[in-house]
Amino acid sequence: LIPLRIEQLEALRAIVGASGIRTDDVAGTLDSGINESNLDAGVVLFPETLEHVQSIVRYCNSQSISIVPHGGRTGISGGAESSIGQVVVQTTRMCGILSFDEDAGTAVVDAGITLEQLQTAVHSHGLSVGIDLAARGTATLGGMVSTNAGGTEAFRHGVMRHRVLGLEAVLPDGAVFDDLKQVAKANERFDIKPLLIGAEGTLGIVTKVALNLVPLASGRITALASCPTVADALRLFRRCRLSPGAELLCVEIMWPDYARTTAEELGKPSLLEFALEPDSLFVILDVASGSGDSGREHFEQILARAFDAQEITNAVVAKNERERNDFWLVRDESFLCDRRYPHGFWYDISVPHRCLDEYSRQLFRAIHDIHPDFKIFLFGHLGDGNLHLTISAGRPMSEFEETVEQAVYGGLRAMGGSFSAEHGIGTHKRAALVRHGCAAKLEIMRAIKQMFDPNNIMNPAKVL
Ligand SMILES: Cc1cc2nc3c(=O)[nH]c(=O)nc-3n(C[C@H](O)[C@H](O)[C@H](O)COP(=O)(O)OP(=O)(O)OC[C@H]3O[C@@H](n4cnc5c(N)ncnc54)[C@H](O)[C@@H]3O)c2cc1C
């Protein structure tokens, strides 16, 4: 690990100006995000234009200095980790909305705009980004493209790659990949931009994104329901999704240990008192309210029918925004379980609906066979089968890492699921990619990386 030389720092300073480079106590003054080693490079550049990014990349390529692109640093797979001798290129000063076509429902934005900034801008026009996640206040569109983010609305609008119409990116040799289409149909062969979506910064720096927006649902009603089993939760999902006149917006599931620990840590255990059975699963449902009270009444009728069909044992419908936020806090504050039970292993997997009930039962059995004291904190996006889980004993347990991983990942591929659902590979899942991915695909990925980035300067040692 060799730090950058003074003249290299001066050359980079000449590109972005004195206010566009940080080398002093970077980790002490900037928020390193989820991963403490994100800022270990000690050099952070803040380009403001495409030309800045191009010049940085060209210079770094000529000097064999590797680059770690950063957006909001909310990624949780280690894709933004950096080390001495590298430079971080943070896009957050490139944060404009460059064009917005209200009629077509499209927008072109700089990569550094946060999801929340874009949401605020388009919501007032009755449109939505079509992707939502709890880190919305900090996560950037460039980061979301680069991780192919998913979130709570993926069962309706797909993941990030389904929202992207076009991209602009700076490739590792400094060339601009200019494919900023704003139309759904553009068959100019070959389609290269899907390679950059989800590349976690290994193939280039995304600088602009053209997005296909979706209609914004008018108002939301939120309910928290208790369900006896996963199969019941899935039947409830199907009922809400297919009921005429109801528009299901989000559907999230929490297993009892996850929900109860989070509610306790929030100081709000009473939120879950409506569920009388201690082993109930919890499902949060958001539906569009429409105008007037009819949406709420209709939703309550659907829940009553779900109760009659024994899909739910009880449900509460949020009476106001405060209650709604409280329900969602229990779902979103996933780090509270880690705080109470640190040192756990976390996973982000996808399971096809038809296997979800059996998979989760088998998982609990397998983990408790490994060690009866292990806690399983399980929750996720029910609509698309994406589960997040932490397995923890509240103490270091590295000797169990391989066995636990096998219990979680084993069988996923055969059932058509995935060991890596929405958070990406980064550094944390590189070994798992080799163990649980497809060997032939991995070879193609290595060849693509070599073709894009023969000097291996763009976020090296990530993904591959
Ligand atoms: C509370 C919380 C909730 C979350 N919920 C979800 C969720 O529901 N669904 C989900 O998918 N994710 C979720 N995440 C993870 C995270 O928010 C997403 O991965 C997000 O897309 C990261 O965006 P970012 O701007 O913070 O990227 P960063 O963390 O800065 O970077 C992530 C990766 O993208 C690369 N990168 C960043 N910007 C660029 C760029 N312009 N060009 C090229 N590469 C770039 C980085 O090198 C890194 O590999 C959550 C995170 C938190 C903290």
Residues 6+ apart with CB under 8 A from 241: 248, 251, 383
Ligand 1 within 6 A of CB of 149: yes
Q: Is the pLDDT of residue 30 over 90?
A: yes
Q: Is the pLDDT of residue 291 over 80?
A: no
Residue-wise pLDDT for 389-414, tens only, equals 999 999 999 999 999 999 999 999 99
Ligand 1 within 6 A of CB of 212: no
Q: Give the chain's length.
A: 464
Q: Is the pLDDT of residue 275 over 80?
A: yes
pLDDT, position 312: 98
pLDDT, position 293: 75
Report CA(1)–ligand 1 centroid distance (Å).
Answer: 26
Residues 6+ apart with CB under 8 A from 415: 351, 352, 355, 359
Q: Is the pLDDT of residue 221 over 90?
A: yes
Residue nearest atom 32 of ligand 1, based on CA coordinates:
75
Ligand 1 within 6 A of CB of 250: no
Ligand 1 within 6 A of CB of 422: yes
Ligand 1 within 6 A of CB of 437: no
Q: Is the pLDDT of residue 458 over 90?
A: yes
Our mutation pick for probing the ligand 1 site, out of 73, 110, 147, counting the most ligand atoms within 8 A of Cβ, is 147
User: What percent of the chain shows pLDDT beyond 90?
Assistant: 95
Ligand 1 within 6 A of CB of 150: yes
Residue-wise pLDDT for 315-372, tens only, equals 999 999 999 999 999 999 999 999 999 999 999 999 999 999 999 999 999 999 999 9
Mean pLDDT value of segment 262-275: 97
Q: Is the pLDDT of residue 38 over 90?
A: yes
Report CA(186)–ligand 1 centroid distance (Å).
Answer: 27
The mean pLDDT value of the chain amounts to: 96
CB 12 within 8 A of CB 21: yes
Our mutation pick for probing the ligand 1 site, out of 119, 133, 449, counting the most ligand atoms within 8 A of Cβ, is 133
Mean pLDDT value of segment 45-61: 98
Q: Is the pLDDT of residue 83 over 80?
A: yes
Helical (H) or strand (E) element with 353: helix 353-370
3-class DSSP state for residue 299? helix
Q: Is the pLDDT of residue 28 over 90?
A: no
Mean pLDDT value of segment 443-458: 98
Mean pLDDT value of segment 276-288: 95
Ligand 1 within 6 A of CB of 12: no
Q: Is the pLDDT of residue 41 over 80?
A: yes
pLDDT, position 214: 98
3-class DSSP state for residue 433? helix
pLDDT, position 165: 98
Q: How far apart are CA 258 and CA 389, in angstroms?
A: 9
Question: DSSP state, 4?
Answer: P
Ligand 1 within 6 A of CB of 143: yes
Ligand 1 within 6 A of CB of 404: no
Report CA(147)–ligand 1 centroid distance (Å).
Answer: 6
Residues 6+ apart with CB under 8 A from 358: none
Residue-wise pLDDT for 105-163, tens only, equals 999 999 999 999 999 999 999 999 999 999 999 999 999 999 999 999 999 999 999 99
Residue-wise pLDDT for 152-208, tens only, equals 999 999 999 999 999 999 999 999 999 999 999 999 999 999 999 999 999 999 999
CB 61 within 8 A of CB 455: yes
Burial 379-415 (b: 16+ CB within 10 A, else e): bbbbbbbbbbbbbbeeeebeebeeebbebbbebbeee
Mean pLDDT value of segment 50-61: 98
pLDDT band at residue 375 using 50, 70 and 90 as cut-offs: very high
Report CA(224)–ligand 1 centroid distance (Å).
Answer: 28
Ligand 1 within 6 A of CB of 73: yes
Ligand 1 within 6 A of CB of 79: yes
Q: How far apart are CA 66 and CA 64, in angstroms?
A: 6
Is pTM beyond 0.85? Reply is yes
Ligand 1 within 6 A of CB of 201: yes
